[in-house]
Amino acid sequence: MLPTPDTSHIPTSLVYDPVEDSYLLLDTFSSPSETAFLKDHFPLTSPSAPQSPSPIPVVLELGSGSGVVSAFLASNARHIFGRPVLSACTDLNPHACRATAETIRKELSQRREDGAGDGAGVFLGVCNADLEGPWVSGAVDVLVFNPPYVPTPDLPVRPDTMRDSADGEEGDRREPTFEEEEYYLGLAYAGGYDGMEVTNRLIERLPDILSARGCAYIVLCAQNHPEEVKQRIRDMGAEWRAETAGTSGKKAGWEKLQIMRAWRVHQS
Amino acid sequence: MRVLNLNFLSCAVKACKVTNTSFPLHPKDAELEQDDEVVYKPEVLVSLLPRLDWVALRTTCTELGFPQLPEQAPTAEELQADEKLMADLHRLLMETHIVGGRLVCGSCGHEYPIREGIANFLLPSHLV
């Protein structure tokens, strides 16, 4: 068992606390089958040029929230990927951005104190953005997304009290109003129709976001119709693959949560 | 954010993303901080080399007032043989954070504020 990063500093009225879905991601990434896939997928040297090192993998987590998943991936990079990685995050919620940065900083410094910092990842930073936001095309090797997947009548609406550009200096340090807290927590779970409105937006952008060797890990719940989602990925083209990389196990005959891995294979 | 992160970010405005002036973003009034959290490792720098957009990196390096990088990206062998270049790259990319200031798009001119090391890429409604 790899240790779970500490998230005790997180303001739970504003940032979604790690729950079952986060832990399913940690379990999936540290499972023997997934570490084998990742080590094989990102070998230290490229098969065509065994003398030169292959590019360091870039891991981007969208909607990182507490930061527990990225902290775990960065801190255990050697175990999971067999090598250091570059780790970065985005979140729409500025409070979550600060929580993420703090969780990862604490986890990596704890690792260094334990004398185990050697194989850890390099944390690039967290951007306050919608999905991949400013990230350039084709840069991401491992995309991680625990989306708002709960079916809801609507997506959260930004309260009028919040400033339009969030540019003001006073903007994000004052006490949030009740409506703002509701909005931020809603962003973490409310997925609209079928719980898929945000995930669908991301899936459309996958071909542009991922590098040629990139793969995406996305949390799906039973109400998202995961088999249909995987079929849609496969229908994006002959090179696309989508498989279940981890599940929460069956409860009353059906699977509540699963982690989908979507990626492209190269015809060489 | 580490300076290295800038090598992966462009303007968040859709119409800008397809122009080549939206990358790299230009730091303005940048407040920099150094740390020594990342262990200096030549093999990490060498594996980073194929990921870097060297032209963009040279621009960023000059704009932040760091020593000029060579015009051409070194090969893996050249980098391994050049300890000074490796040390310069490590300092710029792995040890330097932008903790405050703005990032400006060369295409639309939009300025993204950075506070506490976190850049705000949320767009005002007229730019979405």
pLDDT tens digit string along B62-113? Answer: 999 999 999 999 999 999 999 999 999 999 999 999 999 999 999 999 999 9
Helix, strand or coil for residue B4? helix
Radius of gyration of chain B (CA): 15
Look at residue B6 and tell me whether its pLDDT is greater than 80.
yes
Express as a percent the part of chain B with pLDDT over 70.
100
Q: Answer yes or no: do A167 and B113 touch at CB < 8 A.
A: yes
Q: Which residue type, as a one-letter code, is found at position A235?
A: D
Q: Answer yes or no: do B76 and A55 touch at CB < 8 A.
A: no
Name the more confident of A118 and B6.
B6
Q: How many domains does chain B have?
A: 1
Are A215 and A259 in contact by the 8 Å Cβ rule? The answer is no
Please report, for the domain that includes residue B69, its CATH number: 2.20.25.10
C-alpha to C-alpha distance for A89 and A235, rounded to whole angstroms: 28
A residues 132-151 near B, CB within 8 Å? 133-137, 139
Residues in chain A where the model's pLDDT stays below 50: 164-167, 170
Give the model confidence (pLDDT) of B22-78 as tens digits. 999 999 999 999 998 888 999 999 999 999 999 999 999 999 999 999 999 999 999
Q: Which residues of B touch A109 (CB under 8 A)?
A: 37
Helix, strand or coil for residue B128? coil
C-alpha to C-alpha distance for A237 and B41, rounded to whole angstroms: 40
Residue corresponding to tokens 């621009």: B59
Token representation of residue A60 = 């981007």
Give the model confidence (pLDDT) of A159-203 as tens digits. 877 764 444 554 556 778 888 889 999 999 999 999 999 999 999
- Range(s) of the domain holding residue B22: 3-127
Q: Which residue type, as a one-letter code, is found at position A181?
A: E
Are B105 and B16 in contact by the 8 Å Cβ rule? The answer is yes
Q: Convert chain A into a string of H (helix), E (strand) and C (coil).
A: CCCCCCCCCCCCCCCCCCCHHHHHHHHHHHCHHHHHHHHHHCCCEECCEEEEECCCCEEEEECCCCCHHHHHHHHCHHHHHCCCCEEEEEECCHHHHHHHHHHHHHHHHHHHHCCCCCCCCEEEEEEECCCCCCECCCCEEEEEECCCCECCCCCCCCCCCCCCCCCCCCCCCCCCCHHHHHHHHHHHHECCHHHCHHHHHHHHHHHHHEEEEEEEEEEEEHHHCHHHHHHHHHCCCCCEEEEEEEECCEECCEECEEEEEEEECCCC
Look at residue B9 and tell me whether its pLDDT is greater than 50.
yes
Token representation of residue A25 = 């991601």
Q: What rounded mean pLDDT belongs to chain B?
A: 95
Q: What per-residue confidence (pLDDT) applies to B106?
A: 97
Q: Answer yes or no: do A134 and B10 touch at CB < 8 A.
A: yes
Residue corresponding to tokens 């599940």: A247
Q: Answer yes or no: do B4 and A126 touch at CB < 8 A.
A: no
Q: What per-residue confidence (pLDDT) applies to A245?
A: 96
Q: Convert B63-112 into a string of H (helix), E (strand) and C (coil).
A: HCCCCCCCCCCCCHHHHHHCHHHHHHHHHHHHHEEEEEEEEECCCCCCEE
Interface test with B, best of A127, A130, A209 (most B CBs within 10 A): A127
Helix, strand or coil for residue B2? strand
**Does B2 lie at the interface with A, CB-CB under 8 angstroms?**
yes
Torsion, CA B40, CA B43, CA B46, CA B50, rounded to 10: -110
C-alpha to C-alpha distance for B71 and B74, rounded to whole angstroms: 9
Residue corresponding to tokens 């995930």: A199
DSSP state of B25: P
- CATH homologous superfamily of A21-40+57-264 equals Vaccinia Virus protein VP39 (3.40.50.150)
**Does A117 lie at the interface with B, CB-CB under 8 angstroms?**
yes
C-alpha to C-alpha distance for B127 and A122, rounded to whole angstroms: 32
Token representation of residue A137 = 């095309």
The partner residues of A261 in beta bridges, in order of sequence, read: A217, A243
How far is CA A184 from each of CA A16, A155, A256, rounded to the nearest angstrom? 9, 11, 24
